[in-house]
Amino acid sequence: MTPAKRSSRRSSSRGPAPVALDTTAAPEPATSLSDETSVENTPLFSSLGLDERVLKAVEAAGYAHPTPIQTQAIPLALRGRDLMGLAQTGTGKTAAFTLPIVQRLLDGPRRLRALILTPTRELCQQVDASFRKYGLFAGIDVAPVYGGVGYEPQEKALSSGVDVIVATPGRLIDHMERRNVSLDELEILVLDEADRMLDMGFAPQINRIVAGISPYRQTLLFSATMPPEVEALARKYLRRPIVVQVGRRSQAAHTVRHAVYPVPGARKTPLLVALLKEPDMDSVLVFTRTKHGADKVVRGLNDAGIEASAMHADKTQAQRNAALEGFRTGAVRVLVATDIAQRGLDISGISHVINYDVPGQAEDYIHRIGRTGRAAQTGDAFTFMAPDEIAMVRTIERVLGQPIDRVSMPGFDFGSGA
């Protein structure tokens, strides 16, 4: 769609943007990529209206079928509609917005036309990598912009002219203040993991950034959950959005097997050491509640002769990248992280997620275990439950709508009465 056409469409629908939950145009919500039957009935990428250069990149990525969110979102995004994508990570949501954006940028004028805001540096890097992957045959220039690293390389990239910026909000504002970037001609805005961005207190930064963007843009918002704050954000910035939902909001990835290990708090590290001796524990992501806790678990594992890295907000960006890279390549089998790694981390082949501490909120449980079982791979999610965490586990089970199996490890159990 040309900018002129888009303008006329927009001007006819001015005024406050109600979150008209226009689901009529959307196909029936699908469940999950892991549904075997859904794969058979899934259309091919070639039926979604994508250009050959985009399809070639999809083929190079090795994808056979679009995931349900891709099937629903891509044709709508290509038509220029605002979208609200309710999808947990692991559903293929990044390609669901990246592919239509790449297509919109094909053969267009060379200037900054798309901005993706992400909550964390890691997600920023991953979305940047997706643009490079899916834009392989499209000649698109993308710049990642995030904090914790020097300004100069980013300034250089921005001044050389890019089509897409993938940014965390704080660093983007720094660049705006330094006049390194202008959002004047932006056509597409994506708010990725909107719930997480609001959780992290980015609302003022988002407001400031969006205030400088033309209202005649297309806006896509993705969120794993839809608390009132995200709905308010959507009401403010989206115009007659179509809601695309994959699975129930509280649904955990289908391919994950859950288990709860009742264990006294002081026995958690020995239990972890014992479990890590199992041969199928290839690539294990361990979550702790605190940074201090993460460091302590790493020390405990190292003492037992198990190599592990910690990843949390007190680590420098270089340390975080190194930890992630070591884990991604398999050089380090165990990564111990706080919730900084909870969302957006896209590491294929994680065999196990272990909640060393029970997460404080039920929805965090779903996001954490979303790290395993991504895009139809299977994975296990184990939760260590100390006596003072029993109530929280029960809440999680209520939200999941199913009980989680209790597994007793002789010598570690505090009793099966939980």
Residues of this chain that bind ligand AMP (CB under 6 A):
63, 65-67, 70, 89-95, 346, 348, 374-375
In terms of CB distance, is 44 or 259 closer to ligand AMP? Answer: 44
Distance CA 314, CA 298 (A): 15
* Residue 37 phi, psi (nearest 5): -65, -35
* Residue 3 phi, psi (nearest 5): -60, -35
Q: What is the nearest approach in angstroms of ligand AMP to the Cβ of residue 326?
A: 19
Q: What is the nearest approach in angstroms of ligand AMP to the Cβ of residue 88?
A: 8
In terms of CB distance, is 95 or 116 closer to ligand AMP? Answer: 95
Record the tokens describing residue 29, joined without a space.
Answer: 């919500």
In terms of CB distance, is 134 or 202 closer to ligand AMP? Answer: 134
Q: What is the nearest approach in angstroms of ligand AMP to the Cβ of residue 166?
A: 13
Strand, coil or helix: 214: coil
DSSP-assigned letters across all residues of 323-373: HHHHHHHTSSSEEEE-GGGSSS---TT--EEEESS--SSHHHHHHHHTTSS
In terms of CB distance, is 124 or 263 closer to ligand AMP? Answer: 124
In terms of CB distance, is 65 or 291 closer to ligand AMP? Answer: 65
In terms of CB distance, is 93 or 239 closer to ligand AMP? Answer: 93
Q: What is the nearest approach in angstroms of ligand AMP to the Cβ of residue 69?
A: 8
**CA pseudo-torsion sign 69, 228, 117, 310:** negative
Which strands sit side by side in the sheet containing 379-385, from one edge to the other?
256-262, 379-385, 352-355, 284-287, 334-337, 308-311
* Residue 132 phi, psi (nearest 5): -65, -40
Q: What is the nearest approach in angstroms of ligand AMP to the Cβ of residue 61?
A: 7
Q: What is the nearest approach in angstroms of ligand AMP to the Cβ of residue 357?
A: 24
Of 132, 190, 126, the C-alpha closest to 321 is 126
Q: What is the nearest approach in angstroms of ligand AMP to the Cβ of residue 374?
A: 5
Distance CA 79, CA 344 (A): 27
Strand, coil or helix: 401: coil
Record the tokens describing residue 138, joined without a space.
Answer: 């499209």
Record the tokens describing residue 262, joined without a space.
Answer: 């009742």
In terms of CB distance, is 129 or 273 closer to ligand AMP? Answer: 129
In terms of CB distance, is 66 or 144 closer to ligand AMP? Answer: 66
Q: What is the nearest approach in angstroms of ligand AMP to the Cβ of residue 85?
A: 10
Q: What is the nearest approach in angstroms of ligand AMP to the Cβ of residue 221?
A: 15
Of 52, 50, 140, the C-alpha closest to 96 is 50
Q: What is the nearest approach in angstroms of ligand AMP to the Cβ of residue 100?
A: 13
> Tokens 């056979």 correspond to what residue?
64
Of 305, 269, 307, the C-alpha closest to 288 is 269
Distance CA 189, CA 218 (A): 6
Measured in residues, the chain has a length of 418
Of 351, 354, 366, 355, the C-alpha closest to 397 is 366
In terms of CB distance, is 91 or 118 closer to ligand AMP? Answer: 91
In terms of CB distance, is 9 or 65 closer to ligand AMP? Answer: 65
Integer-rounded Cα radius of gyration of the chain: 22
Record the tokens describing residue 167, joined without a space.
Answer: 């940014």
